[in-house]
Structure formats: C-alpha cells, structure tokens
C-alpha cells in the first residue's frame, strides 16, 4: 500500500533529514494539476484520514513514494518544518513576496498535505495584512479550518468530503462550526454514490459520471487523468462563489 510505504519513508526522513528550508528556496511547489501550491508532508498532516482518501489520494500516486522522488517528500517536510518554526508574520511576508514575484492569481494551500495550527496562523496574518492576496484553503480537519478568520474578505475555504463514515462525522463537525466562508467538495468514486446535501463541488474519479444538479463537477481529483497545465490555478477561485453565480 502506498500509504504504508509513505509512512515508512517519512519516519526515516523525520529522523535522518534535518535540513531546513533554505532562505532562497521556494515555499511553493509546482505541478500541472494545481499550478503553484504550498504543500506539506502527507504523513505528518493527513496520513490515511479516511479509507477512501487513502485509496485514491493523488499525492501517493505516479511514483510519489518511490526513492527517485524522495526530494519531493523532503521538500514537503522542509516546508512543514518552516511553518512550524517561523514567526507567523515573517512566514506571511515570505509567502506574499513570492506570490507577488510569481504573479500568481490565487494562493493555494494544501495542494498536498493538510493544515496545522501554525499554517492557520499564517493564513490569518495574510488575510489581515495582505488583503489583495486571494487564498484558497482546502482541508479535511474541521477544528483547524474553523479557526481561519471568519471576517476575511478574499479567501475561499473548502472542506473535502467523501462517502466514508469518518468523512460524514467530520462534515457534521464542520457544519456545527457554521463558518461563513466554508464550501464543501465531495470526492465521488462511484456513479451510485449518493451526494450529501450542501456539496458545492463534486470531484469525480472516473469520467462519464452523470453531473449532479446541485453542484458543478471538476475533472478527476485522484491523479488518474491528465489535466491541462495549471488547471486548478486558473479555476480554483470559482469554488468560493455561491451556487448560481
């Protein structure tokens, strides 16, 4: 299983790999699915959160846990350590500086991996001090997503759900928070999967599934089909809009 292999590699990296993120090293990662995104160690932030997530996670596919790609896992770990250790104001300045240098249109958090409390603090600093930066935050951790500033004007929060019991419980926890900025996405692995009420976006892992009437669908989110370059970078902000806009 890819997740078990990833956990094994992460334990070794965490014990043996102590290099920090370089002063001139990019905080961002790049891929054809998301364009630029800030990614974190899967094993340290979201390893196996639900059985469905474990089975289809794009972060563990395409040889992501093979030895030839250790540099990618090392980068995710260095980035995570940076946010855990840096002052939130300093980290926010570094992120925004690179965002502006790269002329990005949307700051995508957790293209791989998930939130920590230190990352949430940086998100809130950016929302408060750099309102021109559009942030897109995707998470499966209710209590952390709920701590993102509710007054932010230029931020999109997306809670990622699937058909598992673990996910249903997390959705219920997220709903109790009543965060005004949160939208919901649903990872549909089978055409017969009932789509829970309140889902704004449906990610299909197979082509040809019928489009639900209550949400718009996106290309596969499980890394099984090729996407055009920077597909989510160009589309992502749409996920913040209420249905019908």
pTM: 0.84
* Closest of 169, 96, 163, 161 to residue 134, by C-alpha: 96
CB proximity list for 100: less than 8 A, separation 6 or greater: none
Instruction: Quick: pLDDT tens for 82-122.
Output: 999 999 999 999 999 999 999 988 899 998 899 999 999 99
- In DSSP terms, 156 is beta-bridged to 136
3-state secondary structure of 51: helix
- In DSSP terms, 184 is beta-bridged to 159
Contact predicate 59/43, CB 8 Å: no
Return mean pLDDT, the chain: 80
Confidence of residue 30 (pLDDT cuts 50, 70, 90): confident
| Predicted local confidence at residue 207, as pLDDT | 66
């Amino acid at each position: 299983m890819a997740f078990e292999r990833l956990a094994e590699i992460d334990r070794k990296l965490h014990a043996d790999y102590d290099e920090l993120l370089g002063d001139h090293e990019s905080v961002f990662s790049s891929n054809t699915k998301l364009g630029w995104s800030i990614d974190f160690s899967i094993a340290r932030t979201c390893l196996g959160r639900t059985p469905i997530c474990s089975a289809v996670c794009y972060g563990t596919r395409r040889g992501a846990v093979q030895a030839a790609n250790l540099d990618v896992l090392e980068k995710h770990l260095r980035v995570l350590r940076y946010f855990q250790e840096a002052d939130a104001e300093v980290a926010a300045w570094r992120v925004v500086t690179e965002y502006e240098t790269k002329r990005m249109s949307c700051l995508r958090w957790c293209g791989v991996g998930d939130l920590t409390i230190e990352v949430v603090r940086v998100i809130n600093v950016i929302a408060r001090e750099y309102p021109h930066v559009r942030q897109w935050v995707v998470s499966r951790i209710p209590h952390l997503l709920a701590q993102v500033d509710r007054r932010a004007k230029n931020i999109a929060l997306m809670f990622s759900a699937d058909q598992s019991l673990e996910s249903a419980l997390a959705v219920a926890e997220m709903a109790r928070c009543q965060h005004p900025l949160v939208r919901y996405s649903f990872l549909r692995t089978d055409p017969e999967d009932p789509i829970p009420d309140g889902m704004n976006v449906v990610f299909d892992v197979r082509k040809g599934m019928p489009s639900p009437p209550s949400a718009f669908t996106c290309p596969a989110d499980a890394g099984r089909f090729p996407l055009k370059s920077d597909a989510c970078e160009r589309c992502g902000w749409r996920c913040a809009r209420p249905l019908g806009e």
